[in-house]
């Protein structure tokens, strides 16, 4: 906890939000489908520099990209890609966040189905 409390400050000046939970960091940004920002890439670079300075290893395999949108691509859509230390981050259609399954449409059907099955 002592290490990560100062991490939010490294993203100042960027249109990126940072959420912390224990030793997990979530970065997110909002942008128009037509206009993308490089702020998230810059934030990742700052995070890598910060982790190197504090000698903390980032678990590349746990890092994912989830695009939340109601816009459906017709044809080819250009989405930015993100990488950490040369490791291209996987883009997923859903992710589990604090026990809740969040999908790219912000529909909670899969989460509700999981809870019903467990019940």
Q: What is the pLDDT along the chain (119 residues), one digit of tens a residue?
A: 566 778 889 999 999 999 988 888 999 988 776 666 789 999 999 999 999 998 888 988 899 999 888 776 655 566 788 999 889 999 998 999 888 999 988 888 889 998 999 88
Alpha helices in 2-68 (DSSP H): 39-53
In angstroms, the CA 82 to CA 60 distance is 11
Contact between residue 69 and residue 106 where contact means Cβ atoms under 8 Å apart: no
Burial 62-93 (b: 16+ CB within 10 A, else e): ebeebeeeeeeeeeeeeeeebebeeeeeeeee
Cut 0.85: pTM above it: no
In angstroms, the CA 14 to CA 27 distance is 11
In angstroms, the CA 4 to CA 21 distance is 10
H helix or E strand, kind and range, residue 77:
none
């Amino acid at each position: 906890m002592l290490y990560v409390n100062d991490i939010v400050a490294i993203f100042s000046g960027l249109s990126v939000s940072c959420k912390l939970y224990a030793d997990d960091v979530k970065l997110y940004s909002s942008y128009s489908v037509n206009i993308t920002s490089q702020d998230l890439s810059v934030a990742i670079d700052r995070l890598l520099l910060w982790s190197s300075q504090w000698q903390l290893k980032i678990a590349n395999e746990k890092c994912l990209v989830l695009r939340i949108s109601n816009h459906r691509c017709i044809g080819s859509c250009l989405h930015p890609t993100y990488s950490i230390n040369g490791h291209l981050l996987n883009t997923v259609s859903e992710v589990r966040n604090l026990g809740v399954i969040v999908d790219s449409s912000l529909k909670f059907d899969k989460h509700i189905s999981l809870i019903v099955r467990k019940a």
